[in-house]
Amino acid sequence: MMQRQTSIICLVVCNVLSMIGAAHADEQVKPNDQLLRHVVLFQFKADVTPAQVQEVVDAFAALPKKIDAIQDFEWGTDVSVENKAQGFTHGFVVTFRSKEDRDEYLPHPEHKKFVQLVGPRIENVLVFDYWTKK
């Protein structure tokens, strides 16, 4: 069952990447005309309490004040009527000005501290990065 879900997620990600690539194929976009979006989806373990979920949300939302490389941050919970979230309940979008900023963020001590907090509470996580115009 898990392998089937993973295959479906991979198929969706590949299709989205193809669409993004096709949409930008004819455009001459300069690197400084783009932003890097880092999308993170969480599926929490069944035994994680609402207070523990809120602690994760608060810790993630605090990262922009601790890591200068983050240009923007937003988050929300699934409200789709399509019933295709596959157990993912919380989505986060972290925006960077460059891949170098993202590369600074990932090993940053504050990010690592956050990963240690969230890791034991997560059943599944999906991370998807893409470029967009400013």
pLDDT at position 32, please? 72
pLDDT at position 39, please? 98
Alpha-carbon distance of 91 to 8, in angstroms, equals 18
pLDDT at position 33, please? 85
DSSP run (H or E) holding 128: strand 122-133
pLDDT band (50, 70, 90) for residue 134: confident
The residues annotated with a catalytic role in the active site are: 105, 108
pLDDT band (50, 70, 90) for residue 87: very high
Q: Is the pLDDT of residue 63 over 50?
A: yes
Hey, what domains does the chain have and what are their CATH numbers?
33-133 (3.30.70.100)
From residue 73, how far is each of 9, 48, 76, 92, 96 by CA, in Å? Answer: 23, 24, 11, 7, 9
pLDDT at position 54, please? 98
3-state helix, strand, coil in the chain (%, to 5): 45, 30, 25
Q: Is the pLDDT of residue 80 over 90?
A: yes
CB 121, CB 56: distance < 8 Å = yes
Mean pLDDT on 87-95 = 98
pLDDT at position 29, please? 45
Whole-model pTM over 0.85: no
